[in-house]
Chains A and B, each alone.
Chain A
Amino acid sequence: MSKIVVVTSGKGGVGKTTTSASFATGLAMRGYKTVVIDFDVGLRNLDLIMGCERRVVYDLINVINDEIKLSQALIKDKQLDKLYILAASQTRDKDALKQEGVERVLDELKAMEFDYIICDSPAGIETGALMAMHYADEALVVTNPEVSSVRDSDRILGMLNSKTKRAIEGKEPVKEHLLITRYNPNRVEGGQMLSLEDIHEILRTPLIGVIPESEVVLQASNQGLPAIHMKGSEVAEAYADVVARFLGEDKPMRFIEAVKPGFFKRLFGGK
């Protein structure tokens, strides 16, 4: 039985696509047949983050409009057998995302026996974001420790509870997970950044992980590698932990304690 997971946030630039890429990759590394779909029609970027931008021929909208078969639009990951990408259209606008079309694509993916279908939501609360979340069973709500991001996440949590298929049909609600990204424990300790306890208290949603702020994310996207592939980095390990917790394993939160700068660093400055 396939599970549909939406990665959403409301606000842009908080790490939805970075998270979708690493989360889907992490599930495939664990042996699950996984597909990640870019719902950001008109502004596709997942293909760049996954490093398959030169292999995109057909996209989600071609499939929705019945121009081609779904199997022709699925791009197989270079490294992982069980991972597939479905790119967004770069030329059309979000109105091309028709609900019946989206449902048909998701049903076909279920029939292909995907274990996980990851929907990378666009920013905002319009058609694209609504379509990405509509059929979700679970949701990763990506939040930065910053006031506008927390407020937008609260709005999105409200929509998951009212606008999704599960909400409308009165079924068991979408299972929500809070993922805090770009977290900087040193700035939290200095009282310059909302702590994960603060965010958790405000949003009242179970925390699935904390991804530390790191230059590794930029290094990864520069090369078209999902950050979870950056071996030995804190970001990669934090994402691997998120996947493990999602699969029901008990993992303590890591990389959330402040690190004291050394004597020389304090003396001569630096970050």
Chain B
Amino acid sequence: MGFLSFFLGEKKNTASVAKERLQLILAHERNGRSASPDYLPQLQRELVAVISKYVSINPDDIKVHMERQDNLEVLEVKIELPEPGRA
């Protein structure tokens, strides 16, 4: 705040900052409401069970991750298979 604005009693326009912050956070929260990824841990457990039928893997070798990019949702499943010699 400069000397002149201090003298004139001007304050920063904080209302526009508030509006911008709200629009961002609410867009994010409204997204979460429609498709809540509550099922991710369950999905991970079931994937481990299915894959274990064929390959011996550790539960930690599976990574399930949901990512949002604008209007697109990406479900990423990363399965690390054991090295051939060890299995």
Q: Residues of A with Cβ closer than 8 Å to B?
A: 146-147, 150-151, 154-155, 158, 162, 188, 190-195, 198, 202
In the complex, residue of chain A having the shortest beta-carbon distance to the beta carbon of B23: A202
Quick one: which of A146, A195, A202 has the most chain B CB within 10 A? A202
Q: Is the CB of B22 within 8 A of A191?
A: no
Number of interface residues of B (CB under 8 A): 16
Q: Is the CB of A147 within 8 A of B22?
A: yes
Q: Is the CB of A158 within 8 A of B11?
A: no
With contacts A154-B30, A158-B30 known, is A192 near B14, CB below 8 A? Answer: yes
Give which listed residue, A154, A158, A162, A193, contacts B15 with CB less than 8 A.
A193
Query: How far, in angstroms, from A188 to B19 measured CA to CA in the complex?
Result: 12
Give which listed residue, A151, A158, A190, contacts B22 with CB less than 8 A.
A151
Q: A162-B33, A191-B11 are in contact. List 4 more A-B contacts (CB 8 A).
A: A158-B33, A191-B14, A195-B15, A198-B15
Q: Is the CB of A192 within 8 A of B15?
A: yes
B4 at the interface (CB under 8 A from A): no
* Residue interface bits B31-69, CB-to-A below 8 A is 1, else 0: 001000000000000000000000000000000000000
Give which listed residue, A154, A155, A162, A194, contacts B18 with CB less than 8 A.
A194
Chain A min CB distance to B80 (Å): 38
B16 at the interface (CB under 8 A from A): yes
Quick one: which of B15, B23, B25 has the most chain A CB within 10 A? B15
Give which listed residue, A194, A195, A198, A202, contacts B26 with CB less than 8 A.
A202
Give which listed residue, B14, B16, B22, B30, contacts A150 with CB less than 8 A.
B22
Chain A min CB distance to B14 (Å): 6
B21 at the interface (CB under 8 A from A): yes
B13 at the interface (CB under 8 A from A): yes
Q: Is the CB of B29 within 8 A of A155?
A: yes
When distances are taken between beta carbons in the complex, the residues of chain B under 8 Å from A158 are 30, 33
Query: How far, in angstroms, from A195 to B30 measured CA to CA in the complex?
Result: 22
Quick one: which of B22, B25, B29 has the most chain A CB within 10 A? B22
Q: Is the CB of A191 within 8 A of B19?
A: no
In the complex, residue of chain A having the shortest beta-carbon distance to the beta carbon of B19: A198
In the complex, residue of chain B having the shortest beta-carbon distance to the beta carbon of A159: B33
Give which listed residue, B11, B15, B29, contacts A194 with CB less than 8 A.
B15
With contacts A190-B11, A191-B11, A191-B13 known, is A147 near B29, CB below 8 A? Answer: no
By Cβ-Cβ distance, the 8 closest A-B pairs, closest first, are A191-B13, A198-B19, A191-B15, A147-B18, A154-B26, A194-B15, A158-B33, A202-B22
When distances are taken between beta carbons in the complex, the residues of chain B under 8 Å from A147 are 18, 21-22
Chain A min CB distance to B83 (Å): 48
When distances are taken between beta carbons in the complex, the residues of chain A under 8 Å from B11 are 190-192
Query: How far, in angstroms, from A146 to B17 measured CA to CA in the complex?
Result: 12
Query: How far, in angstroms, from A64 to B14 measured CA to CA in the complex?
Result: 47
Query: How far, in angstroms, from A158 to B30 measured CA to CA in the complex?
Result: 8
Chain B min CB distance to A148 (Å): 10
